[in-house]
Amino acid sequence: MAAAPKPEGDNPVPLFDPRRMAFFHFMFARFFAKHMRAARVANWGMPRDYGNRPLVVFANHPGWWDGVAFMLLSQRLFPGRTMFIPMDAAALSRYGFMKRIGVFGIEGGTARGAVAFLRTAKIVLGASDRMLWMNAPGRFSDVRERPVPIAPGMSRLPEMAPDAVFVPLALDYPFWTERKAEMLCAFGEPIEAADLAALPRDDRGPALSTALAATMDRLALDAIARDPARFKTLLRGPEGMGGVWQFWRRLRSTMRGERFDPRHDPRHDPGREAG
């Protein structure tokens, strides 16, 4: 009898449970709606038709919300594809449930960990309906940091998956006019793994950094404009201050026969229907 595949590290694929993914996507969406104002994707930065190819989505790493962004974007914009995410093994040990929804542990900062990551990435990207989502810097980095840092292991990844398509993803979490932050996202110009593999290994990191920076810079212009019409909104949370003050404002509007709008600046998002 053949040996069962290892449950962690070498092969996270057998662990993936679609039912658990659906449940935790629901939970993550509820959590997001409670703490953030909206998840928006730039109109120009929506995903394209990448064909029947494995994908490597490489993003910047501005904050804690990146993992939630991966969860929401993968489930809402890439139906039919299975998502996998590398995560620091020590951190993953505190969130064991994530091992059942495509997250696998990596040992950061060591040659052994880099080799194990590449071996796992090759397995994950061995099927055309899978996606590897990762924070390319390998550490938290400000959206204004240039050049955009790229973790060393990224330069070897095109060799592990020569048929894959690399897609830059820009993430930003600015505050606009409400008390909660926006989650702004944009997918950039895809890059063929074969084109990256054809470059000298030392040139691949700068090529990925340049592509990601271009996507981040364009998203920054939309963030500065503060115009929701430039985005497709995937998910919204409740708006307004909440609490006693919002209850009083709503009651006052009702007594006056007025339509209540909890937003600080309703003009900022005219397409949003008042509550």
pLDDT at 240 over 80: no
- Say what the pLDDT of residue 8 is: 46
| 2 or 159, which is more confident | 159
Considering the domain architecture, whether residues 130 and 230 belong to the same structural domain is answered as yes
CB 152 within 8 A of CB 114: yes
How many whole angstroms from its chain centre is CA 150?
A: 16
Considering the domain architecture, whether residues 123 and 174 belong to the same structural domain is answered as yes
Considering the domain architecture, whether residues 129 and 248 belong to the same structural domain is answered as no
pLDDT at 275 over 50: no
- Where do runs of H (alpha helix) occur along the chain? 18-35, 66-77, 89-92, 111-124, 157-160, 193-197, 201-225, 243-256
In degrees and rounded to multiples of 5, residue 190 shows phi and psi of -70, 155
Query: In a 3-state reduction of DSSP, which class is residue 40?
Result: strand
| 265 or 203, which is more confident | 203
Considering the domain architecture, whether residues 172 and 254 belong to the same structural domain is answered as no
pLDDT in tens, 174-189: 999 888 999 999 999 9
pLDDT at 244 over 70: no
In a domain? residue 221: yes
Peptide bond into 168 cis (omega under 30): no
pLDDT in tens, 181-220: 999 999 999 999 999 999 999 999 999 999 999 999 999 9
Residues 6+ apart with CB under 8 A from 168: 58, 59, 187, 188, 189, 191, 208, 211, 212, 214, 215
The CA distance from 157 to 54, in Å, is: 12
- Judged by average pLDDT, the poorest of 37-51, 90-104, 234-248 is 234-248
Considering the domain architecture, whether residues 190 and 244 belong to the same structural domain is answered as no
Considering the domain architecture, whether residues 249 and 230 belong to the same structural domain is answered as no
In a domain? residue 275: no
* Domain containing residue 90: CATH number: 3.40.1130.10
> Averaging pLDDT over each range in 2-16, 162-176, 246-260, which range is the top one?
162-176
- Say what the pLDDT of residue 267 is: 58
Residues of the domain holding 249: 240-268
Q: 3-state DSSP helix/strand/coil percent for the chain, to nearest 5?
A: 45, 20, 40
Considering the domain architecture, whether residues 144 and 254 belong to the same structural domain is answered as no
- Say what the pLDDT of residue 231 is: 98
Considering the domain architecture, whether residues 102 and 212 belong to the same structural domain is answered as yes
The CA distance from 230 to 182, in Å, is: 13
Q: How many domains does the chain have?
A: 2
